[in-house]
Amino acid sequence: MRPLDAARGRRLGVLGGTFDPIHFGHLDAADAARRALDLTEVLFVPSHDPPHRAADPHAPDAHRFAMVALAINGCPAYRVSDLEMRRGGNSYTADTLRSLHAAGWQASQIFFILGADAFAEIATWHEFPAVLDAAHFAVIARPGTTPEQAAARTPALRGRIRPLATSADRSPETGIVLVEAVTRDVSSTSIRGLLTAGQAVDHLVPASVARHIATHHLYRTDDELHGEHKDLQGT
């Protein structure tokens, strides 16, 4: 990854996640935040070991990174970072934001993008509530959970919420911004389920990602792969 440009006046969106696999819901959230908050660029950061998940990612790091790169190819404002994958261990947002600060970004220049469903659980995050001082948090509407509903689950954070209309004032103080948006109703879990059942997911992920999944037989069950090898041996 080339060095990030933290020049004055630039605004960086950060979208972290397992991306197992990346899908249109992720891209919708990134696009909504970029347009609403006038972001210069959006950095996609695939996690290495997401602490909120009981199981390890289904696809290896290299494939998840590759799928993000394929999904954002052709979008000049989007970039992918292997920051968390190179760091190893648990992928904590607080550590990632500290790395961006060390690279020259001010907390007030960074907008951490997350869905309303994830924000509803933010009180369980590592280094909460201090992590909220390390960046703005842009909460994007998700099917079934509006930003307002998510905020209602964390009433102690009401004082941090800033109106979207004032998000461009370049204030040095970080805050929480609620972004209403239409994002497609899709999850990585549902995609993996469809793939395991042998169903198509072309309408849920970019075509390049669907091809990568098919080419590398990702999210296939051990039984499926064993049966495929038996067929090949019998030909």
Q: What is the pLDDT along the chain (235 residues), one digit of tens a residue?
A: 445 666 667 999 999 999 999 999 999 999 999 999 999 999 999 999 888 766 788 999 999 999 999 999 999 999 999 999 999 899 999 999 999 999 999 999 999 999 998 998 999 999 999 999 999 999 998 888 888 888 888 888 999 998 875 555 566 789 999 998 999 999 999 999 999 999 999 999 999 999 999 999 999 865 444 334 334 334 3
End-to-end CA distance of the chain: 44
Q: Is residue 1 part of a domain?
A: no
CATH number at residue 118: 3.40.50.620
What is the distance, to the nearest Å, from the Cα of residue 72 to the centroid of all Cα atoms in its chain?
12
| Residue 106 within any structural domain of the chain | yes
Which stretches does DSSP call E strand in the chain?
12-17, 41-46, 78-80, 110-115, 136-140, 161-162, 176-179
The total domain count for the chain is: 1
Within a 10 A sphere around the Cβ of 36, how many other Cβ atoms?
A: 19
Token pair in block for residue 10: 């630039």
Cα three-residue angle 51-56-60, rounded to 5 degrees:
120
Global pTM value: 0.89
> Looking at the domain assignment, is residue 7 inside a domain?
no
**Residue 183: inside a domain:** yes
Question: Does residue 5 lie within any of the structural domains?
Answer: no
Task: Kindly state whether residue 44 falls inside one of the protein's structural domains.
Answer: yes
Position 4 scores a pLDDT of 65
Q: Which domain holds residue 177?
A: 12-234
Confirm whether 67 is domain-assigned: yes
The pLDDT, as a whole number, for residue 223 is 42
- The answer to whether residue 122 is domain-embedded is yes
Task: Provide the pLDDT for residue 131.
Answer: 97
